[in-house]
Amino acid sequence: MKSKLLVTAIGFLIVSSTHASVFEWTQNETSTYEKNAEALTFRCKIAAQDAFQELRQTYYLPPDDEKFVYQLMLERESRKATYDYICKTPSERVTIKKRLDNLYQDSIDVRLLPNNDKLAGANVSIALRFADKTGVSTENYNRIIRLGLRVAKHLRKDPRYNYDVEVMDSLRNFLTKEQLVTVLRSKNAVQAVNKAVSTWNEVKAAGLIENEDSASCCNNAIGYYLEESIISDMFVGHDKVLKNNLSDLRKQQPIIVRMNDSIKKKEELTRKKEEENERIEMAW
């Protein structure tokens, strides 16, 4: 029985190094696994299955990548388990296991980045998803991948990490203006449509329009809000350039956008006046 398990363990090592190895197993890891195959095989399989299911519950993983990612996790858990025998102290064991987790995480994240906005932000994910369509070179695709991996590492350490400026400054270097605009249009399209429809409804409810065509007005508003979002994203962190571009855009506001801005300004003035009256009453 033990001999059969040993053969299974050796077979597993060969499969792992052929299909899913990020770094080669050390001689010490290999010999330790072989010596303790009976204790490790089932345990490592369960650990890998649990880690794989947790990942699938958190992120979207394309079906074509499932087998490869699972093999990565099985190899990672198996290598980590060998250090339960190799290391003499808990401190040494934890340090080495963290190092292995970090090594394998990048290879896992590469498969996740194009389809999971929360990993490194929507701009990185969309840029990777649209790479073929927009003609992004292999070199720049790899640069975006490295950017995404770097941001993902920061976010795991600090979920409040603000990456907007870092990402956009990098994407402006990696992509042409046309490629970047395509990415930002995709990111902001739904928001622009929703905002335009809301604007139309608010202006109509205020009785400011009567004979205007709703489809035409909404389409113009969608285009405006989409351009506004693209400019805001593209020049984030560069306040002077951002202000100048938005100022030029606002000269071309569609009619329902101008009307809605007037409504908002009137509401703001009313609110401030009410607050001022409350302060006066409280003073008395």
Handedness of CA 258, 260, 262, 265 (dihedral sign): negative
The pLDDT value given to residue 283: 59
How far apart, in Å, do the first and last CA atoms of the chain sit?
Answer: 92
Q: Which residue has the tokens 């994203």?
A: 233
CB 113 within 8 A of CB 152: yes
The pLDDT value given to residue 207: 87
C-alpha 261/C-alpha 267 separation (Å) is 10
C-alpha 150/C-alpha 155 separation (Å) is 9
Question: How many CA within 13 A on the CB side of residue 120?
Answer: 30
The pLDDT value given to residue 266: 83
Amino acid (one-letter) located at 252: Q
C-alpha 176/C-alpha 179 separation (Å) is 5
Question: How many CA within 13 A on the CB side of residue 24?
Answer: 3
The pLDDT value given to residue 22: 60
CB 164 within 8 A of CB 185: no
Residue numbers of the chain with a pLDDT score lower than 50: 1-20
Tokens of 66: 């499932």
Q: Which of 151, 140, 165 is nearest to 237 (CA)?
A: 165
CB 175 within 8 A of CB 136: yes
The pLDDT value given to residue 124: 98
Helix ranges (DSSP H) in the chain:
2-19, 27-35, 37-58, 63-86, 90-112, 117-120, 122-129, 131-134, 138-157, 164-174, 177-205, 214-234, 239-250, 255-283
The pLDDT value given to residue 269: 83
3-class secondary structure for 208-240? CCCCCCHHHHHHHHHHHHHHHHHHHHHCCCCHH
Three-class SS of residue 127? Answer: helix
